[in-house]
Structure 1
Amino acid sequence: MKTLKIATRQSPLALWQAEHIKARLEQLYPDLTIELLTMTTKGDKILDTPLAKIGGKGLFVKELEQALFDKRADIAVHSLKDVPMELPNGLTLGAYCEREQPTDAFVSNHFATLDDLPIGAKLGTSSLRRQCQIQQYRPDLQIVSLRGNVGTRLSKLDNGEYDAIILATSGLTRLGLTDRIRHELDTDVSLPAVGQGALAIECRADDDEILDLLKPLNHEISKICVLAERAMNRHLQGGCQVPIAGFATIHDGQIWLRGRVGSVDGKILLKSEHHNALLDPNTQAMIDEQIAESMGIVVAEELIAQGADKILAEIYHNS
């Protein structure tokens, strides 16, 4: 292979992510010519409607996936939290890159923390997951839909349309905008989205040459964690734009997974947590990743037993 083409959206953050992967591949393979194929997705075009009502975050990846099928591109770089739980037949995630900070960031020009917002303040977010958790924590706040790329959202805040907004810490970090972060929300207040902060590289499942090229970009710890989170979401039959949170971490050879499902108004917030050994105590070798996926199913089943399926069914019915 002499030339590799990367499909990417045209937003500044998506371009940063694609350029980041391009640079890493160029470092690994100096003789490889790498080009970007930029495109605008349906999710980028429809900005006046909440994502949940137009099909969820999968709208950000479909055009990129079609470029893979058409062989106009060899790989596509995604924010993993935008990638649907089920991939089209013939495509696979060839690499899970090392995760950036996965928290939610509180951004405001006048208030230092979420707790400092006055009663009735306008808080902007595009995420039902953030909305349900923050409404549980601060039911007095007015949650207002906020769409657009990072720059657009910050401009709306700066124009006084919101008292504060919530964005992904990882996106602000990658764009060099950490100075806009007033504080990171504690995961007890706002548990991250499934896959938040991680980049994934999608490719054709039968393209062994590409899969071999991508192997050095895979970060095993990040992969294990997001596989557990995605297994939970898949078992809940949840998409990318529903009030489901899932976050896995690894400590002392144990993988811990927390999951949440909530009603959009924040009046109900179901929680589950589970942990399991991930390292062989004798060899310290990583145990089969199926353990992480099985744990995701266990957490999902606990949430279903609490009524998560009914909450999600109602949300799908009303969207």
Structure 2
Amino acid sequence: MPHHSRLLRFLIPLCAILLPAHAAAHDPEQAEWSIAIHGGAGTLQRDAITAEREAAYTTSLQAALDAGAAILRDGGTSEDAVLTVITLLEDDPLFNAGRGAVLTWDGGISHDASIMLGADRSAGAIAGVSTIRHPILLARAVMEDGRHVFLSGEGAEEFAGDRELERADTEFFITPSRQEALERFRASEVAVEDDEHRFGTVGAVARDRAGNLAAGTSTGGMTGKRWDRIGDSPIIGAGTYADNRACAVSATGSGEYFIRAVVAKSICDLMLLSGMGPDEAGDNLIAEVEELGGSGGVIVVSARGETAFSFNTSGMYRGRADSNGVNEIGIFADED
């Protein structure tokens, strides 16, 4: 299939040719609030996951979704809902963020995170930190400080020193399963479980009762990453974006391709400039990622409260809820 430029997608939005992707949208009658979450996308096959493991993921996703939904239901902000979801998932060793993040080539930890608010498009991002228990809260601190958007490495750690953020030793974040995964990766014997999390991420997008949107993403990056590699998760416009005029997006997948396609911002642009819904816009950009050779997915919430998932992998840990009574959790592609 020939590559279609983003400009062409704007000019002929309803005729865009899509590569196969799994997408599902929820189009409520102006939901007062709504939220969507993800815990990464990858090679997720039913016959390769035990019933106990599936139940553990479902339970964790539901708990995080319920916590975020409760904040919105009680009149809280989209920002607080997103932060609540992500901090819970960062503490859950099942997911590739915070505690349980995948390991770098040398066996260390390198967290990336970002957050953006749709009301004024304020944003904060950090990369390459290893001592902050909740990287997403450090990204929020950068946003609130306002002088910069993106801090990394030693500078980000130094900035954190003046903030009341909980610290943790490197050992706190490392789990036996991630150590084993790194050993297999080094030996070029990547198992399904490793591939399942190699590009994993956690994220959330939300619309609150005031109509404000927020998006956040947090990750440990790629198993075995080297040279201080940074993916799309902390990059505003690639892995995270929010604009009250259009949508909020959090992405997960092979970050190099999401960066090249500027996925999150492009989805919002398609919705703002062409009138596309979140499902169609998400599908277009996942198609573009696939054209480039990448895989992964996105969660999207629109200014109207519509929620959508789009992904070209065999599964994505995900969930959504809204004021109209929707409450769904999914793992595999055929659950939509």
Normalising by structure 2, report the TM-score.
0.28
Which structure has the larger Rg over C-alpha atoms? 1
The higher relative CO (CA closer than 8 Å, separation ≥ 6) is in 2
